[in-house]
Each structure stands twice: as structure tokens, then as C-alpha cells.
Structure 1
């Protein structure tokens, strides 16, 4: 079968659950990964064909996409801040909003002088996307990353090797941590922050496939991770250091109040590309 003919069938088969543009983007992502072909190749050689084995592989992927399994898990990879990352069911798929948080930190510490000897800690690292992106773009910094999931840490370690950066990964339950044991200039976290009451807003492909341990918190204590991390920052953040968070879009005011009550200064709440309260920065002065 000609690839262009299969492309039409593939997109039509997915339009009941995805819009046409998204279905088309899936097709070209898979084409590049499985066939090492780009859109331009198909335009230049419209008579390219799939073998029967190719069609079996594609039909298997199509079947899983119809079950709303994220394409990043099917391909085993994704892109974040210009870098490639392995992803699987043990880690969240990195989001564009988190890229904004990373960019904020990098822009605040971009020069060699600023990044020299910086000690950075990423709490709840998951795939390692934050820690690794910071290590890649702030090469003079010493980067550490914590996660409670051994399987997530194994994935993060692979991603550090893939992107040729050094990150010290630590297996640790942050809620049971009394002291971080050393001082950091930057502490960053994108912890679980989705309340159970917000589950109905979560897309089915996320709810059914991504790790709930990294997503959800109880409704009656939605800021549990932020409070704990801020307490640790009081002990382990350097005098001129900064605390960065990705937050629940509905809890911006509550987050500002929490940090003010804990005597943090220079608190800044920022919106993401979608206009939602999404990230914060604070320090002691």
C-alpha cells in the first residue's frame, strides 16, 4: 500500500477522538520514528509504499492510539526544551508549561558568572526533564534530583546519559525528609498538585496512563508538597537562593499566602502560555 493512502486511512480512523491536525501530527511523528522518513520525503516521493510488516506495526500503534494511550509512551520518547527524553508509564510526559519554568530559571542564571558553582536541587524529578535541562544549559552548575520512585529514577538516569550531563540522583521520600543535608542556591519542584475534585478536567489519555503518584493530592491538603518543600528550603536554601515551583492553576493566591506566612520574600507568581497561574519564584531577600 502507498504510504500516502495509508496516511488518509490513519487520520480518518483517529478523527473521532482527536482533531485532524493532531492525528496528522501523530502520523508524521511515527513516520519519522519507525520509517526514518520526514514529511518532505513523502512529498518528494509520493509513490513510497509500506510493506505488509510495516502495516502490521502501524495498525498495532493505531489500535493503541484509539485506546488513547499517549503517543509519547508508544514511541518511548518525547522532546523537552530542545532535548530528547525517554518516557514510559513510570514518569509523567513533560509539558510545555514546565518548559516555561525551566526557561525562567535559565534566564535568571544564564551567564557563566551567574551559573558558576550554583547548586541546584530538583524535587520530584520524574523523567529528569527539569534537572537535565538545567544541567545542559547551566553547565557550571552542580545539579541534584530527588524522587520517591525507583523506576522513575532509573528512567531519569538513562535520560541524563542520553543528554550527556551529570546529575546526582537520590532516592528519597520528600515528605519524610527532615533536612536536605546541604545548602542549595536553587530548589525547584513540579510536585503532584492535581486535586481529586479536578479529575474530571483531566484528559482520559492522561488519567488512564500517567502515574497517579506524580499527579494527584488529596482535596483536603492540596499544598502538602509545597509546604514541606518550603519548610526544607527555610533550612537548606542559601541566603541569596531562590525557590521555584510549578503550581496548580487554581491555587495561585493560596500559594502566595503560604509563602508569605513562611517569611519568603520577592514572591512572584507567573502565568503560563495559556494564561493560567502556573509558576512561582521566591527567596529570602
Structure 2
């Protein structure tokens, strides 16, 4: 089972020297993927419930720096040559899908085909309101947007007619190196797992309580794949645990998890980053 690192984009992880140091050290320590998440907007007092914490509150302070993940990951890609890069996750319904398709293909090209697009439907109504995007039916909007982007990636001249995305006879270059970009679905709910089974290339389960929680989700995912007529073995499964322990690795692998993502905040001093990353890797290797 591979190891991923979700440490870029927020706070100290938004500093250019730290991003570069983390990326280089993670590649040297054989991490598989660098992950970065997204929020365009944060508010001081949110009435929306954060779904990845028992108290419904996000731990990131509202005034923390939060780098756009596509820009931050391009910075990391420029400092490396082999490590994968992935959004974990981009809040797709908040964006124009034609622009995201171009950005993703551009990052795929510049990184040499190392990019995976993790997408989520979002949870903060205040964020959607600030961006002028309807909060309602955001899941349906996400599904439509992914289909539209895949049309752009695989067709030289693309047309798409959906409920939320419409275009005709357009060229959007560059195209991905492999003709498509893997799209992983974020979210831990049954609805999110159904999206994985219906049209995702994989799942990024975030902040799961423990391995037992992962087992429940994977069992549900297999059931939804059977209903959708898909082979769950074709999906890439990446998970992040609240308090991961090296003893979890064997059981996660038995569950079919491909990548355990360690979520951590890097040191503020770039000179401390190398030993910090090496220590994380040593704990798990």
C-alpha cells in the first residue's frame, strides 16, 4: 500500500519555500502523492455543518492562508519529477467546468501526466452564496460537470448538452497525456460512495475515524458498485484517518485501500521540513 501526504496549501503549507521543501522531501522519501484541498471562501461564523468532524466545525482558522490547489500543486510539480499530485478535493460545482477542464489538462501536461482530480460537492452554503452558485442540487451539478469535462478531454472538437453545462464544437487544448484525467470523488456519505460507483475513477475518504469505519465504507462501496455494474477492483481507493497508526496498514491493504494519506501540518521553517517528512516516512516504512 502506498503512502500519500496531505500537507500543502494551508498555513505554513502555503509558503512557497515550504511547498517546495515538502514536495522534494516527499518525493525523496517515496511518498506516492501530494494532496491539496480547497476552500475559496471561509467565514468567521459558519452556520453550515462541517461533515468531517464530530462537532461539525472545521479545524482550519477562517483567517488562515489557503492557496488555490491547482496553483499550489503546479508549484509542487515544478520542484519534482515523479511524485503524483492530486486535489483532495476541488469543490467542482463552484467552478466553470470548461475552465477546470483546461486547468486540469494544463497541470497534467506540465507535470508529465502526474495529476489526479479529486472533486467534492461542497458543504458550506456561505461559500456558495459568496460565489453566486446555487447550493441546492450541487451533487447533480457536479455529475454534469464531470461528464462535460470528460467530453472536453477525449474529443478534439467537443460538444455537450447537459442541465448545467452546455457548449458546442469547442476546442480546449492542451488535452491530457492519457486522453483523460482520473477523477476521484471525495465524501464519506452513502451518496458520495454512490457517485464513486456510478462515475468515479476512485474515492478519497477523508478524516475517517478508524479502520473499522473504512471497512464499513468499503463494504457499502462494493454494494453500490454491484448495483451499478462496476468492478470495484478498478477503482483507486485513498483514505485519510484521524489518528492513523502503522499497525493499520495491513488491514487497510486487505480492504483494498491503495493509498493511506497522512494529513499533517508542515514546519514553518523550510530547513525543518526534510527531517519532518523523513520521520513520517520512517514511521510507516
TM-score by length of 2: 0.31
Q: Larger Cα Rg: Structure 1 or Structure 2?
A: 1
* Structure with greater helix share of residues: 1
Higher RCO (Cα < 8 Å, 6 or more apart):
2
